[in-house]
Structure 1
Amino acid sequence: MSVKNKDYYKDLFKKANFLPCKAPKGFPPGGECFEFNPELGEGYYWYYEMPGQYNIKIHDFYYKEDTVLNMDLPECLSITWYESISGEELKPYKSMNCHVIKSFLGGYEPFHALIHRNIPIRSIGIEYRPDFFHQILKDTFGPSYADPKSAFKSIDETSDFPEMKKLLWDLWKYEGSASSAALYYDAKVREALCLVFERHRKLNEKTKASISSTDVELLKSLGLYINDHYADKISIESLARIACMGTTKLKSSFKAYYGMTVADYIQKVRIDHAEHLLAYTDLPVSEVAKAVGYVSPGHFAELFSEAKGLLPLSYRKAFQKKSHP
């Protein structure tokens, strides 16, 4: 298995037009570094592997053209912090967000995504092999150990996991010697796995809102309503009337079902639409802000930057930049 996995990534780098190089300043010691073919993009892919156990991957590059990725990954569980990215996962369809912790289950469905041109992909993640994570979790948690897939799923797209963000950034910024790197990486990789499982265990201990099938259908309809009326002034009271719920029940049920508050959901829909307008129209930023429901262009710019990693005008300039003279 270990040889197969390692060969898989070596072949993947080659097919993706990444060429072996010396790691530039700003990358940790001990791994292998690959530079993107300058005809297709710019930047680096850093990679460290313990065959059959785990790997650590740092992305810091961008594509010069919109690029569709379709990859069959080995069976694994992964967790990644995205500092910057722009695109959409295509199966199922959803926007890719930055400033979030994202989890992924490899070996089940291909990773199919559209990556937007000229927007940096800056991320660091850990990918675990099945035999390794099963053994670590059994040794650490004993009788309370359970299938970790649900634990990884529970943290997908979360922006509220500061311990994990810090751990991953510490990995990226590690400046120790190459000789001690293996011990440092191994300790951090094991710690990250335990953080995921411990967080999931604590979440399960809390009382969760019970959502009836009738309420699920109402919440689905409410999501569709917001998707159509995101630019309007939407109050929690009006949404409660539409959903036939009290405001308190709506708030708790909505968060339990969608994994975010009503306000955060509305903001996400608005910012996703703004991203499209900035990329494919010449509307002034102030008009884009109004089109998606924000009165203040400054407030809109702040929210967009927090969600996408770039200010609106910088995002537009990067996306619309000509790739070739």
Structure 2
Amino acid sequence: MKKYEEKVKELYDLKLLEFCHKYSNAGRSYRINNENFYGIYWLYETDSYVLDITDVYVKKDAVVHEKFNDGEISIISNYIINGEGAWIEPYQCLSSNSIFLIKTEIKSPHYIIYGQRPLLCVGIKFKKKYINSILEKNSDLNEKKLYKLIFETREIITKRVNDISKEILSNSLTKEEIDEKVKEWFELSMKTYETNKEIQMAEYDEKAIQNVGYYIQENYNKQITQKLLENIALMSGTKLKNKFKEKFNMSITEYIQRKRINVAENLILKTNLSLANIAKNVGYNSNSRFSLLFKRYKGINPNKVKDLKTKAACLSCPMYKICKGR
């Protein structure tokens, strides 16, 4: 058993699930069952990184305190497939389909995960050995600059990281294939950064596009017109579309749709509103259009989402009774 695995096993009182094959047999699956979480924690550890999957039902709002006092873990990159929360300091919203970074040198890093809903997250904890190997190949970088690089490219690489995460979630990957996926995940930031250096966005344009993003986040459920966004950014329609795609790696339309569907998912899980009311609350008058987009971005029909409460993690597994009895 590797060093991090031993630590996290003791910290969260994890129980080995010998019969669980939901995820790759290259790693180990553990059952977590405490006052905050119930479900599966899977991990695969090497000398250079830890790849893990958190597949749990969050019973109540939970503050998570990360502990990395030994200095072995350097940078953590998490992709939240399904879940909501907040990074405490500096405050930032954590939401479905987003990348959440942790620099472990921060004193007492902690964040909150919102409860009464499933949490599915794929994460890579890059050890000092991995980071040092990157720095040796890039003499113009140090660890601080590398973290900044990864942070600044996180929104741009989100869609591709989503694809990699889905491949990791399959239970067929070998150790060698996992190594390739981890490498691909990290190199996405490096390649994106190098590309963006060549087409560096002007500071004024960068701020203007960021303001458009802020406006959409606050007004997602309204009818947002292209003309209004052009006026906010003080750009022509063509320039706005191009710069927005350059910044967020998706169209304005997709950005709005993803925001609406993330809010809708939270309303389905947290309220007793009908799907028709939820669709209207997030900006859709057509229930069929709402259902189509929900299935596109979440991979599940909206009327099936509440079932996740009773089928979270291992509850739906045919081996559940055997594992529970061990």
Q: What TM-score do the two structures reach when normalised by structure 2?
A: 0.73
Residue deviations 1:274-295 (CA, integer Å, cap 9, x gap): 2343234433212221222212
Aligned to 1:85: 82
Cα offset, 1:35, TM superposition? 0.8
Mapped to 1, the partners of 2:294 and 2:141 lie a distance apart of 40
Give matches, 1:1-325, under 5 Å.
Answer: 5=4, 8-14=7-13, 18-37=14-33, 42-51=38-47, 53-63=48-58, 65-74=59-68, 75-82=73-80, 84-91=81-88, 92-98=91-97, 103-108=101-106, 110-119=109-118, 121-138=119-136, 141-143=137-139, 147-157=145-155, 158-161=157-160, 165-166=163-164, 169=167, 172-174=170-172, 181=175, 185-186=178-179, 188-190=181-183, 192-205=185-198, 207-212=199-204, 216=207, 222-223=212-213, 225-255=215-245, 260-318=250-308
Gaps of 5+ in 2: 312-326
Cα offset, 1:86, TM superposition? 2.0
| Amino acid corresponding to residue 49 of structure 1 in structure 2 | E
Mapped to 2, the partners of 1:151 and 1:242 lie a distance apart of 28
Residue deviations 1:210-261 (CA, integer Å, cap 9, x gap): 1329x83x55654554445433322111222344433234334445566654
Mapped to 2, the partners of 1:112 and 1:282 lie a distance apart of 27
Preserved CA contact (<8 Å) 1:44 1:61: yes
Preserved CA contact (<8 Å) 1:58 1:172: no
Cα offset, 1:316, TM superposition? 4.0
| Amino acid corresponding to residue 148 of structure 2 in structure 1 | S
Cα offset, 1:153, TM superposition? 1.7
| Amino acid corresponding to residue 257 of structure 2 in structure 1 | Q
Mapped to 1, the partners of 2:10 and 2:65 lie a distance apart of 12
How many residue pairs were aligned?
300
Cα offset, 1:150, TM superposition? 3.0
Preserved CA contact (<8 Å) 2:96 2:262: no
Cα offset, 1:34, TM superposition? 1.3
Mapped to 2, the partners of 1:210 and 1:281 lie a distance apart of 43
Preserved CA contact (<8 Å) 1:20 1:35: yes
Mapped to 1, the partners of 2:24 and 2:210 lie a distance apart of 45
Secondary structure at the aligned position of 2:240 is classed as helix
Computed over aligned residues only, the root mean square deviation of the Cα atoms, in angstroms, reads: 3.6
Preserved CA contact (<8 Å) 1:59 1:123: yes
Cα offset, 1:305, TM superposition? 3.4
Moved more, 5-14 or 128-137: 5-14
Secondary structure at the aligned position of 2:289 is classed as helix
| Amino acid corresponding to residue 20 of structure 1 in structure 2 | L
Mapped to 1, the partners of 2:182 and 2:263 lie a distance apart of 36
Change (3 A) 1:273 1:166: closer
| Amino acid corresponding to residue 227 of structure 2 in structure 1 | E
Mapped to 2, the partners of 1:133 and 1:242 lie a distance apart of 40
| Amino acid corresponding to residue 85 of structure 2 in structure 1 | E
| Amino acid corresponding to residue 149 of structure 1 in structure 2 | Y
Cα offset, 1:108, TM superposition? 2.2
| Amino acid corresponding to residue 228 of structure 2 in structure 1 | S
Cα offset, 1:112, TM superposition? 0.4
